[in-house]
Structure 1
Amino acid sequence: MTYRWNTALTRKLGIRLPVLAGGLQWLADADYVTAAARSGIMGFITAASFPEPDDLRAQIRTARAACGDLPFGVNVSMLPKLVPGEKTEGIFRLIAEEGVSVIETSGRNPEPYIPLLKDLGLTLIHKVPAVRYAIKAQSVGVDMVAIVGAECGGHPGMDMIGSFVNAAMAGRDLDIPFLIGGGVGHGSQLVAALAMGASGVVMGTRLLVSEELNAHQGYKQALVDATERDTALTMSSVRNTIRTLANETTQEVARMEQDNPNVTIQDLLPLVSGQIGRKAYQTGDVSRGMLSAGHALGLTDRVEPMADIIARIETEALQAIGRLEGVVTQEIAG
């Protein structure tokens, strides 16, 4: 039996399930978003993975041909080191020209681009690490916010607020639709997020073991073998905290941060360059590089098609809803 979920996210994006497959640097390509679309959710091609406009355009067109009428989006990181400021506007225009209507942004305040994005007819989902940033994003006119808590792989921000607390605060403080991410990889978490007012969830780590992901089988198996205890937080000394798979590189970075209170990003760059981590996706050797991974590693138990992962998550969600039946009963006076 096929179910259709009804939230602000599913209605706005035209997807069946209230789940987003977040953008993944070097990994979120046309194959990734096609697998997501066919699974009933939405994925995002990561623009920073394709720095040449023609390459990004080609990925979008490949995805469009494979997805047909099924929607997908593009992730635009506005960190200058990934997408130089003078190119960001051009990337937004390219995305709109190619008929994509939804973008996921992160990295800095999108306010300067809001008028342009509205003129282009793009729906903007801005990703932030804490509710206080979500409130700011709401005030400048974004359409939705994705709040990604401390449990996430990648950049959880400096506040390190957990997803459960973020969800409750967002339900209290926000008027626009919001999504919850960070450690999300089970259907019961989707139900919990919806119960706290979210319109859906964002998943990253949980989907890294999808068969369709263009990464080495050894890399995926390493994630299956890992547990929620196998991540490391580093780079807080340079105000760029990142959660990654614990390995030789994270040990070296942590040692440098401990030994040198004045360490700089330039000092760390030979170890943390994204090009080093990219090799792990190509070779399966996870001993080196900063490989973003979150606490949802505790839920990555096998490599399988994305459709099967999403089907399991939906089954878990329906089971969670079933468990709620009868939990609360009304007492009849007299």
Structure 2
Amino acid sequence: MNTSIYRSAITELFGIRLPIVAGGLMWLANAEYVAAASRAGIIGFITAASLPDLDALRDEIRRCRELCDGGPFGVNVSMLPKLVTGEKTQEVFELIVSEGVRFVETSGRSPEDFLPLLKRAGVKVLHKVASVRHAVKAAELGVDAVSIVGAECGGHPGLDMVGSFVNAAWAEGQLAVPYLIGGGIGHGSQIAAALAMGASGVAIGTRFLVADEIWAHPNYKQRLIAAQPVDTDLCMQSVRNTVRALRNDTTAAVKAMEAANPQVSIQELMPLVAGKIGRNAYVTGDWNNGILSAGHSLAFVDRQEPLGAIIQRLSAEMEQAIARITDPALR
């Protein structure tokens, strides 16, 4: 494969072969998964919030570094929308710096307060947002790159709900920093299209959930393989925390509560949406319970295989897409 045609500001920033970022997956993006991404020529991020304490995060970083064998990796720091008492975000960033981690993925709220610390240490910051307008604000703060996730994404698509195809072209005229497009990305032709529209790469989550290196139960992965893009639900709009998740008993119950009481509080929803319920689903394979983030790229989730094999398929699809552009006979 001629990787030079895929060289971009993102491949240069992270020192990767392909313009693909495996975004942090809550509970799932551990050292084995992130190292597999590194070995396959892309970059992944350990999700700090998945670890119980700072010592566990330190151990996971060190284990990942050994498994990567010199390859790039990062840590995802998902912050709550507002600072809360007891939050350890500052300590997490200090640990990341002390461990010599070179890359972080931030999300949830502005990373402004932590950028001086990270910049002094030479840490490159990729900030994830759900709209072009927030990407512009993050760029003005001085982050190194932004990841814009569209309405199709699993997890939190924000409130604007603009699709990835529009975001990819819309952002090109507004951003001076490299940007990734995420949300519904699961085929190599989409990556080629994103590059053509001005993005420096893509962020992928749902498509990688069936990788062998994801520790979740096989029954959960089989449900994803059987699912279609229409098998997701949007819920929690009433508390301005919209989430796209695999349709199941929990999403139905949450939507019913929201319909019955549009003023429902997050505290009332918590017995259904607490993260520990979702984590238990990954352990047991009981995919009918919990908010299990999944996006429209379920369209491309067709079998369980090593992460490296999925990335090889994406590479081949990118090549085929480029060939179609340059050879009219293939269109």
Query: TM-score, normalized by length of structure 2?
Result: 0.96
Find the counterpart in structure 1 of residue 291 from structure 2: 290
> How far apart are residue 81 of structure 1 and its match?
8.6
Cα separation, 2, equivalents of 1:185 and 1:82: 34
Q: Deviation string for 1:238-281 (max 9, x for gaps)?
A: 00000000000000000000001210000100000000011110
Which of 80-89 and 260-269 deviates more? 80-89
Is residue 182 of structure 2 the alignment partner of residue 178 of structure 1? no
Find the counterpart in structure 2 of residue 240 from structure 1: 241
Find the counterpart in structure 1 of residue 24 from structure 2: 23
Structure 1 SS opposite 2:97: helix
Structure 2 SS opposite 1:209: coil
Find the counterpart in structure 1 of residue 227 from structure 2: 226
Is residue 116 of structure 2 the alignment partner of residue 115 of structure 1? yes
> How far apart are residue 192 of structure 1 and its match?
0.5
* Paired AA for residue 243 in structure 1: R
Is residue 100 of structure 2 the alignment partner of residue 102 of structure 1? no
> How far apart are residue 86 of structure 1 and its match?
4.5
In the alignment of these two chains, the number of paired residues is: 328
* Paired AA for residue 238 in structure 1: V
Find the counterpart in structure 2 of residue 74 from structure 1: 75
* Paired AA for residue 167 in structure 1: A
| Conserved 8 A contact 1:178-1:200 | yes
Structure 1 SS opposite 2:33: helix
**1:192-231 to 2 correspondence within 5 Å?**
192-231=193-232
RMSD: 1.6
| Conserved 8 A contact 1:147-1:180 | yes
Cα separation, 2, equivalents of 1:83 and 1:182: 29
> How far apart are residue 327 of structure 1 and its match?
5.0
> How far apart are residue 83 of structure 1 and its match?
8.7
Find the counterpart in structure 2 of residue 3 from structure 1: 3
| Conserved 8 A contact 1:51-1:83 | no
Cα separation, 1, equivalents of 2:3 and 2:179: 22
Structure 1 SS opposite 2:168: helix
Find the counterpart in structure 1 of residue 258 from structure 2: 257
* Paired AA for residue 16 in structure 2: I
Q: Deviation string for 1:143-175 (max 9, x for gaps)?
A: 100000000000000110100111111111111
Identity %: 60
Find the counterpart in structure 2 of residue 44 from structure 1: 45
Structure 2 SS opposite 1:175: coil
Cα separation, 1, equivalents of 2:220 and 2:125: 32
Q: Where in structure 1 do 4 or more consecutive aligned residues deviate above 6 Å?
A: 80-85
Structure 2: give runs of 5+ residues left out of the alignment.
none
Q: Deviation string for 1:116-141 (max 9, x for gaps)?
A: 11112110000000100001001111
| Conserved 8 A contact 1:27-1:213 | yes
| Conserved 8 A contact 1:77-1:83 | no
**Residues 1:71 and 1:281: Cα distance change in structure 2 (over 3 Å):** same
Which of 148-157 and 73-82 deviates more? 73-82
Query: TM-score, normalized by length of structure 1?
Result: 0.95
* Paired AA for residue 26 in structure 2: Q
Cα separation, 2, equivalents of 1:51 and 1:198: 35
> How far apart are residue 181 of structure 1 and its match?
0.2
Structure 2 SS opposite 1:303: coil
Structure 1: give runs of 5+ residues left out of the alignment.
329-334
**Residues 1:2 and 1:61: Cα distance change in structure 2 (over 3 Å):** farther
